[in-house]
Structure 1
Amino acid sequence: MDWQKNLLLAAMGAVLIMLVMRWDDFQQNQVPADLPAATTADSSALSTEVPSAAATDVPTTGEPGQTNPAVSGKVIRVFTNTLELSIDTRGGDIVHAALPKHFAHIDTPDEPFVLISNNANHTYTAQSGLIGKNGTDSAEGRAVFTSTADAYTLEEGADTLVVDLTLEQDSATLTKRFTFFRNEYRVKVGYLVDNRGEEPWQATLYGQIKRDSHKPDADVGIGMQPFVGAALTTEDERYKKFSFDDLEDKNFKTQIQGGWVSMVQHYFISAWIPDQSKQNQFFLKQQGNQDLFLMGFTSEALSVAPASQGEISAEFYAGPKDTGELEKIAPYLDLTVDYGWLWWLAKPLFSLLDYIYGLIGNWGLAIIALTIIIKALFFKLSATSYRSMARMRKLAPKMKEIKERHGDDRQKMSQETMKLYRDEKVNPLGGCLPMLIQMPVFLALYWVLMESVELRHTPFLWIPDLSVKDPIFVLPLLMGFTMWLTMRLNPEPPDPMQAKIMQFMPVVFTVMFLWFPAGLVLYWVTNNTLSFLQQMYITRQIEKADAKT
């Protein structure tokens, strides 16, 4: 059984390494809190790198151009029931986005969560414009639009809000139109072109997200960390993601009909979604040698005949990773709710969890109910495992005796052990294989609970927020206790060293789970409790049957 001992030692070492790594991540992520939205001058300076082209070229790689630092605009504020935006009239970029329905911290409900912001510590902006023959952005600089107001608010009873920025060219009037929707996080960003000239007007729409590599502290505990970086869909892969390290090594570009490009982090994303009926080119790249990255697209060129009007548009999304909403916006955009390689199993699990929540109306109770349903589905498989372990426990004295007699002769001890298994009709792997079969389901559920923005700032009993750790550590202690109870029903390993390691495991996992989100720990406590009750029931059944014989 040396392989079991080595496996346990490796697991213990991995846990300790994860503890150290988690502490290191915690230290690195302690950056100063976001400052207020940038001033006009700040937002201009931080949003100058945009695709550029020669007078008649349409770029395909998103190469940045130099702009005129003397040109600057003002910030327009926009308020809806789901978004609070700041739009810089220089270029018409979104330089600040806050989400009033998702507050920053559990104890500051008056402060909305800030997704997009530019300040001394962080660069994150959504840029868009026109490039090419009659584009608004070029190597010489970016256009400054005008607006009729400094602030716009979605009125009560209105379903949409339109914000127009205008620009007069030599022979055309351009209107950059932002359309906002009640209860939605998507924004339609379009250009209306009135060509009064005698020549065709032509330009290409681009949109890009510009961001540094700062990774917000996800506070998900030790283990698998949420992805932070760029993601898009391609012809070959529905969901293809790139870390910032990937982009430092190599740029990426592709072309696809429709498509989207996004910046993904825990619970939230921003994404550009161009016209789904057009062929669009997408690019991901590092900005020079700076800690800045561009994730964007260029669309097909728009041509407007003389004395005619034309329009080109895209959509921008800045909000939570809501599976239902993202599915409606673009194909495969919902895959940014990143369940890892088990997404095919995790998606139906989330659908079931969401359905249960719709019936119960409480996420904590929904997690408990979902765990019970999963345990019920695997009841017979678990029973097989527990029966095998109960029989192995019965053999513990005989196995100890074999070790005492043949401890110095490993080959003889192994032969006698296998003979004992055959005589007693016990499969030593019978307790492991059924559990291994269930592991993909439990791992998928782990990701579901970790990625579900619905749990963020959701209270349950004494816990104010199921997405972060239990503030008084009751659930981790219960998890450790139920794990200890369950392990007492398992056969004791014949190796004393292995037995000591097993005794120490509940302590190690209790410490590890202190930082896990409470929703995940609630699942483990429920699962452990049900496992203990089922295993205890089966063990007593076997003991009673043996007493009668």
Structure 2
Amino acid sequence: MDTKRVILATALSFLVIVVWSYFFTPAQQPAPPKNATQQTSQTVPDKVTSDFPDTKSAEKVSPATFVPTDGKTIAVDTPLYNARINTQGGVLEHFTLKKYKQTIAKDSPLIDLVSTQASSMAPMGVIYNGLPTWNKGQWSYDGQETTSLSGNDASVLRFVCRVAGMHLVRELTFHADSYLIEENLRLQNMSDSQAQARVTFTLASTGMTQHEDRYNHTRIAWLNKDGLTEEKDEDDAKEGLMGDNELQWGGLQSNYFLMALAPETTDAVFKAKLVDNVYRLGVEKTGLLVEPGMESTVLNDYYIGPKEEKYLEGAPNKLSSAVDFGFFDFLAKPLLMGLNWFYSYVGNWGVAIILLTVCIKILFWPLSHKSYKSMNKMKKIQPMMTKVREKYKDDRQKMNEEMMQLYKTYKVNPAGGCVPMLIQIPVFFGLYQALLGSIQLRHAVFIKYLPFTDYIWLADLSAKDPFYITPLIMGATMFLQQKLTPTPGDPTQAKIMLFMPVIFTFMFLNFPSGLVVYWLVNNVLSIGQQWLMLRKA
């Protein structure tokens, strides 16, 4: 009976590992088109039709004062990003993040969250009653061609559209110290009859991850009364997704970046669809009634940038909920705070991971000690357990009774070696999620060059070890750890345990190197603890 329990526990542990790998290793995505490195003026195409959003104030625009102008590209330049906007609709042509590059190469272009292909879908555009205003309306803009912001500066760009008897006044507020863009859309009814309005605000992206990012995938997400929902399946995205029920925000995100729409009212509807490898996103507001000669206001915010808490904390509509580490979020966030604290002192994320791992090991030292002690006791009574099994192999009930008596006599708890380790598993998974989803580790350097060479090595803790050195050393430490652990009495169980390092090594080959460093350091510390116990024994 005892052997069955041990084998069952081992099998279940292996099952947990396999299931975890299955659910947390996303399917590979098609490679998004390469971001444009040059930003040029372009005419907004008319290929996009409607099927997707809407509410704040300045003086009315009269028909006599409205003068349409030709579309042109203008720029908003801040310390955080450079936005290129076409005045024919106020839509984005490019949105380049100044602090983030595509790769770790010196000549790598900056991240552009709005690629040329995505710009053809009119991100940050407005659809009015099913009409894509960027090609169905007449627009005017009389502001500067380049707006430069710094410090705490903010600037409002004003675009005016005439479409279907309505004047749309778009007032977009840009901030130098934030990735948030606030929209105040005013609907001015220039007709002689009441107008029923349906407004949709849009975004578009070709995706936020590369084909090789196995542990970082693009997913559609929205927050409503039911909580945060994320969808990574491309087939479902092609069919179309919708979120309502007191909607807070909806958008597209990866582990590191977010494009989101946050409407003022919770009765809006979020829609998303993958069309020709471009994610189209929209937030729709319906039921607006505008009397003749009157106006109605609709508010909406856009967030286009990194998933850094310092920028999301002050954002409206609980946009900070986009930084979510899943089931172990309540553990991952405190661990990430600890990691940030260590980094503030040492200035190296790899060293910070090592220091945090040491602290966690110290915290769980008593539990680990108890586990190893229990395993040593089990090892000592293994010969007696073997004799009991042989003596009562034909009488299961008697065998179990004798085994229980044996445990009682020598004060051994057969689960004593497992329970302390199980308590630590949530912390391990919490740190796993924190390291996997933290933008701080993106392109973070630990050991840039392989020692005594000029080969790039651990220059990006969010990417795998290019030479597989750390996962192979990690596998070797697991094997050594198994050798130091008291050998199970059952030969089958012993073989299974010795096979585990091979499984883990294979799994860790493509893990982000930051995770491998954590597991490797944890193994080394465990080996040291076991060696001390064996020496005392």
**Structures share fold, TM-score greater than 0.5:** yes
SS at match of 2:213: coil
Task: State how 1:377-526 maps to structure 2 within 5 Å.
Answer: 377-400=363-386, 416-462=402-448, 463-526=458-521
Structure 1 residues 35, 196: closer, same or farther in 2, change over 3 A? closer
The one-letter code of the counterpart of 1:381 is: L
- 8 Å contact from structure 1 (residues 227, 265) kept in 2: yes
Structure 1 residues 110, 251: closer, same or farther in 2, change over 3 A? closer
* 1:283 corresponds to 2:275: no
- 8 Å contact from structure 2 (residues 81, 97) kept in 1: yes
- 8 Å contact from structure 2 (residues 33, 206) kept in 1: no
Task: State how 1:251-400 maps to structure 2 within 5 Å.
Answer: 251-256=241-246, 259-275=248-264, 278-286=265-273, 293-298=280-285, 301=288, 306=293, 312-400=298-386
- 8 Å contact from structure 2 (residues 52, 283) kept in 1: no
- 8 Å contact from structure 1 (residues 283, 297) kept in 2: yes
SS at match of 2:258: strand
- 8 Å contact from structure 1 (residues 78, 86) kept in 2: yes
Task: Give the alignment's TM-score, normalised by structure 1.
Answer: 0.78
CA-CA distance at 1:200 after TM superposition: 8.0
The one-letter code of the counterpart of 2:244 is: T
Provide structure 1 residue ranges, at least 5 long, that are not aligned to the other structure.
54-71, 544-549
Deviation string, structure 1 residues 123-152 (Cα, Å, up to 9, x no partner): 8753332635xx9x3699632423347952
Task: State how 1:26-425 maps to structure 2 within 5 Å.
Answer: 29-30=30-31, 33-34=34-35, 44-45=45-46, 47-51=48-52, 73-119=71-117, 126-129=123-126, 131=128, 137=131, 142-148=136-142, 151-155=145-149, 159-168=153-162, 174-191=168-185, 203=197, 205-210=199-204, 216-217=210-211, 219=213, 225-226=215-216, 228-235=218-225, 237-244=226-233, 245-246=235-236, 251-256=241-246, 259-275=248-264, 278-286=265-273, 293-298=280-285, 301=288, 306=293, 312-400=298-386, 416-425=402-411
Provide structure 2 residue ranges, at least 5 long, that are not aligned to the other structure.
55-69, 449-457
Structure 1 residues 283, 31: closer, same or farther in 2, change over 3 A? closer
Determine the C-alpha separation between the residues in 2 that align with 1:178 and 1:457.
Answer: 32
Query: Comparing 79-88 with 364-373, which one deviates more in the overlay?
Result: 79-88
CA-CA distance at 1:514 after TM superposition: 1.6
Deviation string, structure 1 residues 480-539 (Cα, Å, up to 9, x no partner): 222222212222223333322322221221222121111111111222122222232233
The one-letter code of the counterpart of 1:284 is: K
Size of the aligned set, in residue pairs, is 511
SS at match of 2:414: coil
SS at match of 2:428: helix
Residue 63 of structure 2: aligned partner: none
SS at match of 1:428: coil
Determine the C-alpha separation between the residues in 2 that align with 1:153 and 1:408.
Answer: 87
Determine the C-alpha separation between the residues in 1 that align with 2:24 and 2:199.
Answer: 42
CA-CA distance at 1:210 after TM superposition: 4.1
CA-CA distance at 1:440 after TM superposition: 1.0
- 8 Å contact from structure 1 (residues 280, 300) kept in 2: no
What percent identity do the matched residue pairs reach? 32
SS at match of 2:170: strand
Deviation string, structure 1 residues 353-373 (Cα, Å, up to 9, x no partner): 223323333322222222222
Determine the C-alpha separation between the residues in 2 that align with 1:431 and 1:511.
Answer: 26
- 8 Å contact from structure 1 (residues 467, 517) kept in 2: yes
CA-CA distance at 1:311 after TM superposition: 5.3
CA-CA distance at 1:384 after TM superposition: 1.4
The one-letter code of the counterpart of 2:34 is: A
CA-CA distance at 1:267 after TM superposition: 1.0
Structure 1 residues 305, 374: closer, same or farther in 2, change over 3 A? farther
Residue 537 of structure 1: aligned partner: 532
Query: Comparing 82-91 with 441-450, which one deviates more in the overlay?
Result: 82-91
